[in-house]
């Protein structure tokens, strides 16, 4: 039988698919990956049996609360999302999911995730993860995003938290090493996002959001991307300089960092939307590979 396309009668599988997409699965996968690296780096050598249990619970809990934050963002921004090509397909933007459905989904994910963290990990990780939820879903989405072009710089602090959450899960405290990884993601976020904002400027203008290319123009944004990539490169040397990571990591950080700087400089000097898109995707590969290098380095014999 042909399925109806009305919102309330969507077939179950596509309804689940709609809810799943609200969790911004691919962004959250990288967030969880960074949290897992934070967990691995928090303990010397391979995890013991009990530590595996904590790792699985912390991964599930952080995943669920991050998904809840993303769904809450979709709920708050349904009108804005409807105005932008990139996001108009979301079920919330199309009115295919009611406010009550989306809110219940977000609250349920957040509650289950928080309970897992509380009972199977530790209260500190639960509170830090919940603070991250509030940082993204409320402080960034509701307050900063419509207010200032520095929205993603300040709001990026919540996206940078995953290694701290992972570290806290295994150690029960927040160490300077975890803060260093947090700093790296914090500095990575502006070039990551502004590369996208450059080729999506019209979308953001139409939606009335004060993103940097809208308020300060493309040239200023490109310059900021160059500055951030160089500062990021310097910050990524710190794990080696502080003895936290070894030569393998250092080589990876320098090669990846120089490649990111080269993208930023090329973007600045010979701009095209196509290259801005490439730079955005490179930023995702950059962070994934940098964190993979931290992990490999951690397990290499000294």
Ligand X SMILES: CC(C)=CCC/C(C)=C/CC/C(C)=C/COP(=O)(O)OP(=O)(O)O
* List of residues contacting ligand X (CB under 6 A): 24, 27-28, 31, 62, 65-66, 69-70, 73, 77, 87, 129, 132-133, 136, 158-159, 161-162
Instruction: Give the CB-nearest residue to ligand HEM.
Output: 159
Cβ partners under 8 Å of residue 184, min gap 6:
160, 232, 235, 236, 290
Query: Nearer Cβ to ligand X, position 159 or 239?
Result: 159
Which among 233, 138, 221, 255 is positioned nearest to 188, based on CA atoms? 233
Min dist CB 190 to ligand HEM, Å, is 9
Residue 132 Cβ vs ligand X, minimum distance, rounded to whole Å: 4
Contact 295, 249 (CB under 8 A): no
Q: Does 85 bind ligand HEM (CB under 6 A)?
A: no
Pick between residue 159 and residue 191 the one whose CB is nearest to ligand X: 159
**Is residue 152 involved in binding ligand HEM (CB under 6 A)?**
yes
Shortest approach of ligand X to residue 116 CB, angstroms?
13
CA separation for the pair 99, 110 (Å, rounded): 16
Sign of CA dihedral 30, 185, 209, 273: negative
Site membership for ligand HEM, residue 193 (CB under 6 A): yes
Cβ proximity of 61 and 126 under 8 Å:
yes
Estimate the share of the chain in helix, then strand, then coil, as percent rounded to the nearest 5. 80, 0, 20
CA-CA distance, 272 to 277, in Å (whole number)?
9
- Indicate whether 155 belongs to the interface with ligand HEM (CB under 6 A): yes
Measured distance CA(15)–CA(41) in Å, rounded = 38
Which residue number, 127 or 268, has a Cβ lying nearer to ligand X? Answer: 127
Residue bearing tokens 């962070």:
287
**Beta carbon of residue 234, minimum distance to ligand HEM (angstroms, whole number):** 20
- x-or-dash pattern for ligand HEM, window 90-109, by CB under 6 A? --------------------
| Dihedral-angle region of residue 177 (phi above 0 means left; psi in -120 to 50 means alpha; beta otherwise) | alpha
Partner from ligand HEM, ligand X, none contacting 34, C-beta within 5 to 8 A by type: ligand HEM
Q: Binding to ligand HEM by residue 284, rule CB under 6 A? A: yes
Window contacting ligand HEM (CB under 6 A); options: 30-38, 222-230, 231-239, 262-270: 30-38
- The size of the interface with ligand HEM (CB under 6 A), counted in residues, is 18
CB of 200 to ligand X, least distance (A): 9
Quick one: 113 or 239, whose CB is closer to ligand X? 113
Report the Cα 195 to chain-centroid distance in Å.
15
| Residues 6+ positions from 54 with CB-CB distance below 8 Å | 39, 120, 121, 169, 170
DSSP 288-299: HHHHHHHHHHHH
Q: Which is nearer to ligand HEM, 8 or 94 (CB)?
A: 94
Nearer to ligand X, 22 or 41 (CB): 22
Both tokens of 117, joined, read 């963290």
Note the residues at the interface with ligand HEM (CB under 6 A).
Answer: 26-27, 30-31, 34, 86, 140, 152, 155-156, 159, 185, 189, 192-193, 196, 284, 287
């Amino acid at each position: 039988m042909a399925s109806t396309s009305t919102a309330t009668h969507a077939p179950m599988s596509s309804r689940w698919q709609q809810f799943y997409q609200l969790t911004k699965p691919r962004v959250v996968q990288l967030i969880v990956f960074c949290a897992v690296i934070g967990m691995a780096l928090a303990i010397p050598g391979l995890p013991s049996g009990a530590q595996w249990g904590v790792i699985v619970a912390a991964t599930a809990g952080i995943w669920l609360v991050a998904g809840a934050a993303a769904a809450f963002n979709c709920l708050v921004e349904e009108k804005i999302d409807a105005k932008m090509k990139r996001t108009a397909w979301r079920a919330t933007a199309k009115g295919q999911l009611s406010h009550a459905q989306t809110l219940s989904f977000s609250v349920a994910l957040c509650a289950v995730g928080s309970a897992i963290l509380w009972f199977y990990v530790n209260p500190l990780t639960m509170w830090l993860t919940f603070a991250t939820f509030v940082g993204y879903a409320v402080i960034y989405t509701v307050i900063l995003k419509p207010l200032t072009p520095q929205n993603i710089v300040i709001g990026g602090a919540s996206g940078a938290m995953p290694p701290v959450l992972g570290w806290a899960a295994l150690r029960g405290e927040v160490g300077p090493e975890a803060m260093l990884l947090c700093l790296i993601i914090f500095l990575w976020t502006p070039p990551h996002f502004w590369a996208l904002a450059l080729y999506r400027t019209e979308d953001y203008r139409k939606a009335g959001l004060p993103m940097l290319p809208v308020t300060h123009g493309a040239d200023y944004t490109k310059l900021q991307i160059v500055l951030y990539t160089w500062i990021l490169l310097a910050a990524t040397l710190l794990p080696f300089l502080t003895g936290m990571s070894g030569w393998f990591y250092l080589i990876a950080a320098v090669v990846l960092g120089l490649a990111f700087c080269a993208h930023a400089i090329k973007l600045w000097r010979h701009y095209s939307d196509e290259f801005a898109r490439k730079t955005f995707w490179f930023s995702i590969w950059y962070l994934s590979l940098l964190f993979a290098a931290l992990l490999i380095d951690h397990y290499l014999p000294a």
